[in-house]
Amino acid sequence: MIKLIGVAGGSGSGKTTFAKKVIKLVEDPITVLHMDSYYLPSQPNKNFTDSGKPNFDHPEAFDWELLRYHLKQLKSGEDIQSPVYDFNSSNRTHKTISTSSTPVILFEGIFALFDAEIREMLDIKCFLHVDSDIRFTRRLNRDVQERGRSLESIISQYYETVRPMHQKFLEPQKQHADFIVGEETDVAASILAAKVNQSLFPNYQTKTLQADRATPHEF
């Protein structure tokens, strides 16, 4: 049976880093599906801010229909062609990436736990809870270095959309999480990987006692 893990958290919470830590500890290959790839090709007019800029931190910024379809395909054992999004131009490209269905699939994104239909597909639901100042600093460094953004535009976007959308839509996802992960992601990654390994390999013993002794729900 294919295990589908959802990892949600605000921008800059460390979702990609957490996913990499889990991958290193799980015995079977893991496919990672990034929600950022599923931004709509163009944002709806109603989703623009008062300053005339698209709100990429609103749930309606994403192509939910395609995302649900692809997650269903992956969980049923079918490979997909996932879209490619260009963050420098803020547009979906015409390219796709072949994404394989593997025994473990990790789906990460700011709204990974938002949609009820997708939550029903998830076997394990995680939420990364990181203080806002840390998330902002990480986002600032990433967007400047990797996405060619200016400091002014990042700060403006943070206060106009990122912060209010996090409070309104992202933070409430915690109520749906099986795990709430703090900044100490090494321990959480080892516990999550142990649970996955144990479900895939019944005789798997390593670190399962640590998982049993951990504080329920939060790491």
Are the C-beta atoms of residues 188 and 124 closer than 8 Å to each other?
no
Q: Which amino acid is at 43?
A: Q
Reply yes or no on whether the pLDDT at 108 is more than 70: yes
Q: What is the per-residue pLDDT across 175-186, written as a single tens digit (0 to 9) for each?
A: 999 989 987 789
Q: What does pTM read for this prediction?
A: 0.85
Distance CA 18, CA 88 (A): 24
Domains observed in the chain: 3-213 (3.40.50.300)
Length in residues, the chain: 219
User: What's the rounded mean pLDDT across residues 101-116?
Assistant: 97
**Alpha-carbon torsion, ordered 120, 121, 122, 127, to 10 deg:** -60
User: How many CA atoms, within 13 angstroms, populate the side-chain half-sphere of residue 171?
Assistant: 10
Reply yes or no on whether the pLDDT at 214 is more than 70: no
